[in-house]
Structure 1
Amino acid sequence: MSPSPGGRRAPAPAPPNLERLTGVRSGKSSFYSEFRGAAQRLERVVHALDAISRALVQTVDGPEQLVRAVADAARTHLSADWVLIALADGALPEAQPRHLILDARGRAYAFEGWAAAQTPGANLPTAVLNRLNDILRGEFDQFTTPVIDGHHAHVPIELDGGVVGAFAAWTPSHRVMDATDEAVMRILSSQTAVALQNSALFQRSQVLLDRAEQAYAEASRHATELAARNAELLATQRELGVAQRHQVLDSERHRIARELHDSVTQCVLSAGMQIEVCRNDIPGAERQQRLELAKHLTRTAVEQLRSAIYALNHPSDSGPSTLPELLEELCTVHMPDDLRVSLRVEGTPVELASDIEHALLRIAGEALFNTAMHGNATRAIVRLAYRSGGVALSVADDGNGDPGKLRLMLEMAEGGDVDGHHRGLVNMKARAVEHHGELEVRRSRIGGVRIMATIPWSDPAAGRSAALAKKSEGKR
C-alpha cells in the first residue's frame, strides 16, 4: 500500500460483493436449499400449468374426457395416491359423469360413463369412501373453503355462488402439499365446474333439440295429412260441381224435350196431315208436285225434331260415354233411308273435356243435317282423328254442294244475317273458335262438301298421351 497524502497509508480495496454479482447471499448456509426448493416449486407449477392446458384441450371431446384429464393432471402434479371428483346428489342433474376416483396408477373406480373402467368399491380406502358419501349427501359445512392439510387437500367445486361438489386428493408421506398445490387444485376445480355446467347445458339443449325435432316431424305429418285432406276436399267439390251441373243440364234437356214434343212436333204432324188431305182432294199436276215437296219437307223436319228430342232427353251419364260411341249413334239414328253414313276413327281415342265433346257432337250433327237437307247426297263419311296437336272432326259427302258458295254464305252470315239464314254454319264455327279451334269448308274427295273442325288439346298431358299412342300404333 502506498502512503496517502499527509504520510498515512490508503486503506486496502474491499473484496468483490458476491451477492451483488450473483444475487446469492453466500453468507447464509441455508440459501442454497431455499433456492433449490423455490426452483422445484417453480418447476412443479410449470408442469401443472402444462397439465392444465392439456386438460382444457379435452373439452372438445366431451365432459367425460375433460373430467378424466383434470383428475389425471391433479394426480400427476401431486403424485397422489387417490384423487376424488364428485357432485352432490341433485346438483346439476343433467351433468355427467357424477363422480370419479383415480388411484396412484390412474385406474378409474366407479366412473359413470366408462362401463369398462367401473370397479365399484374395489380396495378403496375408508377415508376416500367416507368423503365420497359426504359429497354425495351434500355435507359441505366443513369444506366451504379450500383445505390443505399436509398430505390431504379438499377444494370445493363452486357454481353460481354455491357449492355443488368437491375435488379431493391424498398424497404419500414424502409429498407434502403447500399453497402452490392449492392454487393448482383451485384452477382444476374451477375448470371442472365449467365443464360440468357445459355438460348440463348440452344435455338440456339436446333434450330441447329432440323435442323440437319431434314437434317438427309431427307438424310435417299434420301438414301432409292436411294437404291430403285438402286435395280430397277439392276433388269432392269438383265432383259435386259436376254433378250439380249435370243435374241442371238434364233438367233443362227434359224441359226442352217436353216442349218440343208437345208443341212443335204436334203442329208439324198436323200440317202434314192437312197436306195429305189437300193432295187427295185437289187435282192438278203442278199442285200435286208442290204438295209432294211440302210433305217431304215436313217429314224431314219431324225427323230432325225427333233427333233433337232424343239428344236432349238422353242423360249425360248413361248409354254411350265416349265421343266415338256418340258419333256412331248419331250416324245411325234418324238418318234418311237414302243417305248412308259411316264413321271412321283414326288414332287412339283420348278422353276429352265434356264441353269439347259436346261441341264436336253438335258440329257433326249440324253438318249431317245440312248434308241430308241440302246436299242431295247418297253417302257421307264422318272422320274423327286424334292427332298430336289436337282432335280433328270432318264430315264429307258426295252431294252437289259448292264449298266456295258456302264459305261466302258463312262470311255474309258472320257480317250480319238479319233473316236468320245460315245460322248452322255460324254456330259450327263459333263452337270451334270457342275452344281455340277453327272450321274449314273444302271440296271432299268423294265429290261433295267437306266440313272440318280442328280443336287443339286443352290439356298438354292429353296431347302427349295421344302422341305416344299414335307412335306405338305406328310401330305395331
Structure 2
Amino acid sequence: MVGERQRLAAELHDTLTQGFTSIVMQLEAAHASLRANRPKVSRDIDAALATARDSLAEIRRLVWALRPEALERESLVEALRSLVWRLDGPVRTRTVVTGEARPLPTEVETTVLRAAQEGLANVRRHAAACEVTVTLSYMDDLVALDIRDDGDGFDPDGVATGPHGGLGLVAMRERALALGGAMDVESAPGEGTSVALRLPVHRPVGGPEPAGVGALAR
C-alpha cells in the first residue's frame, strides 16, 4: 500500500501538477490580453479548457487504477449494494445478483465498482430517473454489470460534448478494453439509459476472448 501511494504521488506530481500549472498560466495570459487583444483571449481560454479536460481525464485514469476503499472491507456484492443503497430515496433502486458470487481478480472487481460509481453518479446528476436497476451477473468466464434507468435519456453520439459524463463514459470504456472486455451504452432522449459492462474473469495473454465479449464490443 505504501508503494502504491508513493507511485500515485509521483504520477500526480508529474502529470496533474504540470497540467494545472499550465491552466493557471494560460488564464493569466488571457487576463492580461483581455483589454488589448480579444481574439487572443479566446485562444488562451480554449487552450486552458483543453488542458483542464486533459487533466480531468488523467485524474480519472489514476482514480480508476486505485482499489476502492470499500473493497478492502467488503465483498464486491456488499460494496455494490451499499453504493446503490446510497442512491435510494428520490430514486427507487433495485440490486440484482445472478450466478454464484465469488472473489474476482483485483483489477476486475475494481473496474466493476468504479463503473457502478460512474454510472450511478450520472443517474443522480443527469437522468431525472424514477427507478434504476443494477444487475451484477457472475458467469463461468465473465462478470457483467448492467445499469438501467427510466430517466430522460440522451444521444450517445453527442456524449463527448454533452452534459452526461462524457469523460467518465470514455474512461469506463477504455478501462474495459484494457482488461479485454467491453462496455456499451444504449440511450435515446426520453427513453432512459442502459449501460452494460462485460469483463473476462480469466483471459490468457494472446488468448481468445470469452464468448459474448467480442459481440458486445462490435
TM-score range, shorter chain: 0.5 to 0.7
* Counterpart pick for 2:100 among 348, 361, 364: 348
Alpha-carbon distance in 2 for matches of 1:377, 1:453:
20
Q: Does 1:409 align with 2:155?
A: no
Matched residues in 1 for 2:71 and 2:183: separation? 26
Aligned counterparts, 1:20-419, within 5 A? 246-249=1-4, 314=69, 317=72, 319-320=73-74, 322-333=75-86, 335=87, 337-402=89-154, 405-406=155-156, 408-410=157-159, 413=160
Figure out how many residues of one structure are paired with residues of the other and give that number: 145
**Unmatched segments (≥5 aa) in structure 2:** 13-62, 205-218
* Contact 1:250–1:313 under 8 Å retained in 2: no
Q: Indicate the residue corresponding to 1:442 in structure 2.
A: 186
Distance 2:178 2:67 in 1: 21
From the CA coordinates, give the structure whose radius of gyration is larger. Answer: 1
**Aligned counterparts of 2:4 and 2:201: Cα–Cα separation in 1:** 25
Give the aligned partner of residue 21 of structure 2: none
Change (3 A) 1:247 1:316: farther
Cα gap change, 1:316/1:382 in structure 2, threshold over 3 Å: closer, same or farther? closer
Matched with 1:423 is 167
Query: Do the aligned partners of residues 350 and 316 (structure 1) sit closer, same or farther apart at CA in structure 2, a change above 3 Å counting?
Result: closer
Is contact 1:250–1:315 with CA below 8 Å preserved after alignment? Answer: no
2: CA distance, partners of 1:340 / 1:393:
18
In the TM superposition, residue 359 of structure 1 has moved relative to its aligned partner by 0.8
Work out the CA distance in 2 between the residues paired with 1:397 and 1:390: 23
Instruction: Could you tell me which runs of 5 or more consecutive residues in structure 1 were left unpaired when the two chains were aligned.
Output: 1-245, 257-307, 461-476
CA distance in 1, matches of 2:132, 2:3: 35
Contact conserved, 1:250 with 1:316, CA < 8 A, in 2? no
Please tell me whether residue 432 in structure 1 is matched to residue 176 in structure 2: yes
Alignment of 1:456 with 2:173, yes or no, is no
Q: Structure 1 353/248 Cα, relative in aligned 2: closer, same or farther at 3 Å?
A: same
Give the conservation status (yes or no) of the 8 Å contact 1:363–1:431: no
Deviation at 1:250, TM superposition (A): 6.1
Residue matched to 2:18: none
Secondary structure in structure 1 of the residue aligned to 2:176:
helix
Q: Does the aligned pair in 1 maintain the 2:71–2:79 contact within 8 Å?
A: no
Letter aligned with residue 78 of structure 2: E
Q: Normalising by structure 2, what TM-score?
A: 0.57
Give the counterpart letter for 1:323 in structure 2. L
Normalising by structure 1, we get a TM-score of 0.28
Tell me the equivalent position of 2:50: none
8 Å contact from structure 2 (residues 179, 199) kept in 1: yes
Paired with 1:449 and 1:353, the residues of 2 have a C-alpha distance of 28
Report the Cα offset of residue 342 of structure 1: 1.9
- Distance, in Å, in 1 between the alignment partners of 2:132 and 2:5 is 31
